[in-house]
Amino acid sequence: MKIKAFFLAVTLLACTGANAQQINPITKAVLRGYQEILNENPKDYITLYQRATQYYNLSMYDEALVDIIKALDYTPEKEKELRIDEYSMLTDIYIQTKEYDKALSAVNNALALSPKDYALLYKKGNVALYLNRPEDAYESFAAMQRLKSRSQEAFFGMARADIMMDKKEDAKELIKQAENADPSNYLTYCRIGELYEDMREDENAAANYLSAFSLADNKSSRPLESLIRLADKNYPAVEAAIQYAISRTSNTDALYFLQASIAFNSGNFRQAYDGFTRLLQSREGQIASVYANMARCCLALDKISEATTNADLAVIKENSVSTLLVKAETELAANNPSAALLAATKALSIDANSTEALVQSALANIALKDTKAAIQSLNEAAMTDPANLYARMIRAYVNSNTPDNAKEAIIEYGRIGNTLDPETFRDVTYKALAQCLAGKKLDADETMKRAIREKENKTKDDYYLAAVYYAQTGDLATGKEMIDKAVSLGYQNLYNLYTNNTANLNISPLRHLLK
């Protein structure tokens, strides 16, 4: 596989994201139709079930729950198949709302009507795992296997239950059977990798993720995401797996690119720098994507001059939005805002809706003290991507430093602070910081403390972001504690640690405490 193909898979990671389910006009009309039928007959259990399904698909679980409970109340006992479907839907709703005891009760009611239903047994097994009841889970998955002797889902389920019961050797035997059931499917090896992670055998996990990556052939980003996630907590395990693969093939350039890209995406910038340096020594490696990644890697290592050189070479090789954004970012870091603005403007000429380009244009204009142009770009960014809290935080920062716009800043911080259920730790940090800047320090501290308390397996990047919050809100001692934890976990972004002064989204207030 060529390096460009690998880079495409890496690039796709930055382009994926979940969008909130929208109710389109057709769906609204359907829901109105259901309501009209129910106005005439509130006990129409079929319509109630159908509307519950519609609500479920729209992630409107509270509404779905109300309808499905009514449907079960009104559905006659003789309608056995429908009642099974209703209990199954009720199970799904309770799983989504994390009410697993209720989910178990619902799926048991369904199984009472259909004891050998394969899908229901699978649901019960997974609910039992959620409830930390591995014996019950194993029993359900074993029942599945009795129905379908080569069921991969059953093998994986029993293996997960065995791992929870600390029966690792039994789990490994089941993993072999799961692999034999579908040995050419990349998802098989993704799932095996996850089970080895559960057993804390990260090198075996990495080897299986690497197998999945080779089988996926760019059809899915999941294997690469798994490798990057594992590398974030145990880079040596991933590096060892790739080094072993390198020793077994003559096509080393592609694997070296994969190794460097995983190192870069998991924040292991020193290892990534070595990997990209090796790649650039070969002709096949001298492509735009490698130069661009090398530029970003140099920037993270605070090698600003080298970063701008590689960004220039990336643009020479390929004049694209992605390479121009790298140039804009590195030129701004090098204190060349005019050159950064030119690169961002060229990127916008290619893609006028690029939020990243709009933000880079704004940052360059901030450095050039052109507040009006900066706000204009940030307004466009906010319209293009309202969920981008980074752009909105910078807009609020610019407004807060513009006397006539101070009120707009407070309003913006208030809106960001009211963000419901931010999906990433980064956005939680922005929410907390916005709450503080809007005058709600107690709420802000609680938001941040809860995020730190509740997130399992916090990463080095999470601790850095927490340090940003505490540095910007005046708690330098806690900020320093967060930075120390980030560094202890291998945080290598020297630019963020020692140089980055973007808006109020940095740790500059506590830099004097760093060694």
pLDDT in tens, 306-320: 999 999 999 999 999
210-224, 257-271, 459-473, 495-509: segment of lowest average pLDDT: 210-224
pLDDT, average across residues 505-514: 96
**b/e per residue 378-413 (b: at least 16 CB within 10 A):** bebbbeebebbbbbbbbbbbbbbeeeebeebbbebb
Question: Is the per-residue pLDDT at 14 higher than 90?
Answer: no
DSSP 256-303: HHHHHHHHHHTT-HHHHHHHHHHHTTSTTT-SHHHHHHHHHHHHHTT-
* pLDDT-based confidence at residue 4 (cuts at 50, 70, 90): very low
What DSSP letter does each residue of 407-464 carry, written as one string? HHHHHHHHHHHT-SS-SSHHHHHHHHHHHHHTT-HHHHHHHHHHHHHH-SS--HHHHH
d(CA 393, CA 373): 16
CA 193 to chain centre: 18
pLDDT in tens, 322-351: 999 999 999 999 999 999 999 999 999 999
Residue 149 has phi, psi (to 5 degrees) of -60, -30
Residue from 393, 386, 334, 387 nearest 362 by CA = 393
Helix axes 3-12, 288-300, angle to 10 degrees: 50
CB-CB contact of 514 with 498 (8 Å): yes
Cβ neighbours for 60, distance < 8 A, ≥ 6 positions apart: none
Among the listed residues 255, 232, 259, 241, the one whose alpha carbon sits nearest the alpha carbon of residue 201? 241
DSSP string, 454-485: H-SS--HHHHHHHHHHHHHTT-HHHHHHHHHH
Q: Alpha-carbon distance 154 to 49, whole Å?
A: 29
Q: Give the residue among 263, 256, 270 at the shortest CA–CA distance from 230.
A: 263
DSSP for residue 1: -
Q: What sign does the CA torsion over 272, 274, 277, 281 have?
A: negative
User: Two tokens at 49?
Assistant: 């079930």
Confidence check: pLDDT of 19 > 50: no
Average pLDDT over residues 197-225: 91
CB contact at 8 A, 314 and 326: yes
411: nearest Cα among 396, 422, 398, 397: 396
Sorting pLDDT into bands at 50, 70 and 90, what band is 26? confident
Task: Tell me what pLDDT residue 249 has.
Answer: 81
Q: What is the pLDDT of residues 244-254, one digit of tens each?
A: 988 988 777 78
The arithmetic mean of pLDDT across residues 416-444, rounded, is: 95
Q: What is the CA radius of gyration of the chain?
A: 26
pLDDT band, residue 5 (cuts 50/70/90): very low
**Looking at the predicted structure, is the pLDDT value of residue 218 above 90?**
no
